[in-house]
Amino acid sequence: MKIIVSVKQVPARDSSLRVAAGEKWLDESDLSFEMNEPDAYALEEALQLREKLGGEVVALCAGPASAGQTIREALAKGADRAIHVETDGGGITDAFATANLLAQAIQPEVPDFVLTGLQSDDLGYGQTGVVLAELLGFAHATIVMEVEPLDGKVRVKRELEDGWFQHVTLPLPVVLTVQSGIKKLRYATLMGIKRAKSKELRVIPATQLKSKDAAAAEVERVYAPQRSKKSQILTGDVRTAAKELVEKLKFEARVI
């Protein structure tokens, strides 16, 4: 059983974010980075599937040379080997362009499972896993909360709206986008960190992969949102004002 899990390097949540001079992306000179949290849950699910089914877990990352830190973390947590599609780091790519790179790296591996996080903490497209499944021609399911391997199939539990869930049975190979919180995350042990140094890490320059199409989306400008304050006086009797206040808190401010 071969399980490929896609991981991404993103700015750490406590980083101080500043827009770069060209206003196309962030100034990364002083940023610290970490593994995308939804991808960490996908990695944990992949490791637990291997413990049940045997086989190997391959960590896959598309990103600049600095993403090696995130790849080594995946290896330290238990991935058997890793593939790094190394990009030039110049700007950002959309979901299609990223999925295209990942798909070309995955195809020669012929995996049974491909797991990704539901979305990335930096861009939050939530589309890379879905596009990846289409490019590979694999069955797929999104917002996955539980994974139950069957004979040549997999049964998954999907999270829907308003507390509803859906159970779906899919044939292998399959692409699953995993919801955060699906399992308790493990930490990299000291022994795991030592072993990671000797595990296989194959680097594929993105320029060596065939590009089907250019990026489908382009970032025009990155900027901090404008802050504004305003006040509103609710008139009428107490009951009417209270009812109107609850409506605004519920549907406009969305705090209740």
Higher per-residue confidence, 121 vs 59: 59
Residue 211: the pLDDT is: 60
Q: What is the mean pLDDT of residues 42-47?
A: 96
Whichever domain contains 141, its CATH number is 3.40.50.620
Residue 90: the pLDDT is: 58
- 168: domain range? 2-208
Angle, helices 68-77/37-53, rounded to nearest 10 degrees: 30
Q: What is the pLDDT of residues 46-95, one digit of tens each?
A: 999 999 999 999 999 998 998 999 999 999 999 999 999 998 865 567 88
3-state helix, strand, coil in the chain (%, to 5): 30, 25, 40
pTM: 0.82
Residue 162: the pLDDT is: 84
Angle formed at CA 138 by CA 89 and CA 140, multiple of 5 degrees: 85
Residue 107: the pLDDT is: 94
3-state secondary structure of 60: strand
The fraction of the chain above a pLDDT of 90, given in percent, is: 59
Please check whether residue 33 lies inside any domain of the structure: yes
Please check whether residue 221 lies inside any domain of the structure: no
3-state secondary structure of 243: helix
Q: What is the mean pLDDT of residues 109-128?
A: 91
Give the total number of structural domains in the chain.
Answer: 1
